[in-house]
Structure 1
């Protein structure tokens, strides 16, 4: 009699910890995490993001209303690099306004979703690459942007700033949104438990999820507001605006630790608007 194979044990949940994680470990872990979770991410958030909208963060602020890259009419013909593009929703919005975007992401699976939205015929280049080593010539873009892409998952973000500055032409804008740094001090919870500080804002030790062998499977890095300003200044950028979107009354959605309750009390997103002299 042939016996049925014994059921495999369910994989253990990753252990959450705080420890050092360098560029190599962070890149490997986060590329794998986004490849595994891209389907769920696009399923959960695709409707909110839209197929061709430019949404800066969970609050729902859009480039249509903020015009942080400049007036939409002025984007016609501009070559724009989107970093951490995911399914390239922002690049699709840029292309619809006459720009010539290039969508870059570390995750192959995220870029496959971009191809899915475009029925396999992307109207602009899709590039799989690390944001810290941009595969482009010097001064090859008019502007660069990133909506919650790449930066939280990279250990050496100062290098990313230098790389973006290298590929931008003089006068180009670099506009990026990230989780507001103050959120690092609070639990990532949407309810009242997320309104009491539980950690030091100044603790820059990365958040790491690791498997039973101690190998990182997800890494997130923290920089204070001052850290970001110093990185930008050292790379040669001039910071011209820092936008902290308020939570709008129309937005009743919860997105992880972002929610109406928290969003009306503490900022959830920081958008840095910079110019390359």
Structure 2
């Protein structure tokens, strides 16, 4: 795996098409370069063997969205440093974690060394999972992969393929409602600037005009249709409220915005 590179600074932001290849290339580049800075900024919040579903600090220890994990074969999609998988391993699960970014997986290896909790790690693209059919009892991600791939419907089908019948798929993403608002935690972030129904990708470009970060929007209806089309049944949709006394700002997530509209959506699904 390559070592992390210095992150370039975007010189332009655009709304423009970005296919699967461009999205994967850009986001691999971005997270390889950003891995060190990301963990320096957020590592204390995320922990080294802990599990939170998002910036609102909804923790799996309290939410129990995955159910009893003892003995289950678990796949973490877009794992980052795999702190969630280590938390699950400490509770008797048998996780495998993958990410597209070598830089993130470097932090996952470091976390395993620090905790003494090894988790098998794989570098892979979430649209093309290198696992056999029916390999896992449970799959999950906390803000990994789903919003960063161009074909999230294919991702859902791939997760369905590698799960056993009745397997659970739980994933957290930015709430679709946040798309029309600027990525600003203050008053500016309370003003709608674009249509909720505009699905044109958000793209950050380098000086040559090459995408270096890509994020894709799906409406709530889009997401449910993707899930149903892949054979899943939605059994819960959790919209964490911003808790009293939680004052941490993370990107556009803040107490100000969190008091007014949801920033995170957690989809709890089972394979039919």
TM-score over 0.5 for the pair: yes
CA contact (8 A) 1:114 1:122 kept: no
Cα offsets for 1:66-113 (capped at 9, x unmatched): 11111xxx2111000000100001101110110000011000110110
Shift of 1:196: 1.3
- In structure 1, the gaps of 5 or more residues are 1-10
**CA distance in 1 between partners of 2:54 and 2:15 (Å):** 25
**CA distance in 2 between partners of 1:227 and 1:84 (Å):** 21
CA contact (8 A) 2:141 2:171 kept: yes
Q: Normalising by structure 1, what TM-score?
A: 0.93
CA contact (8 A) 1:21 1:155 kept: yes
Instruction: Indicate the residue corresponding to 2:80 in structure 1.
Output: 86
Question: Over the residues paired in the alignment, what is the CA RMSD in angstroms?
Answer: 1.1
Q: 1:30 aligns with which of 6, 27, 30?
A: 27
Q: 2:183 aligns with which of 148, 169, 188?
A: 188
Residues 1:159 and 2:154 aligned together: yes
Instruction: Indicate the residue corresponding to 2:70 in structure 1.
Output: 76
Instruction: Indicate the residue corresponding to 2:98 in structure 1.
Output: 104
- In structure 2, the gaps of 5 or more residues are 1-7
**CA distance in 2 between partners of 1:264 and 1:55 (Å):** 19
Instruction: Indicate the residue corresponding to 1:173 in structure 2.
Output: 168
Q: 1:272 aligns with which of 238, 244, 267?
A: 267
Q: How many residues align?
A: 264
Matches within 5 A, 1:1-277: 13-70=10-67, 74-119=68-113, 123-277=118-272
Secondary structure, in 3 states, of the residue corresponding to 1:240?
A: strand
Secondary structure, in 3 states, of the residue corresponding to 1:30?
A: helix
CA contact (8 A) 2:241 2:259 kept: yes
The structure with the larger Rg is: 1
Alpha-carbon distance change, 12 to 188 in structure 1, aligned in 2, over 3 angstroms: closer
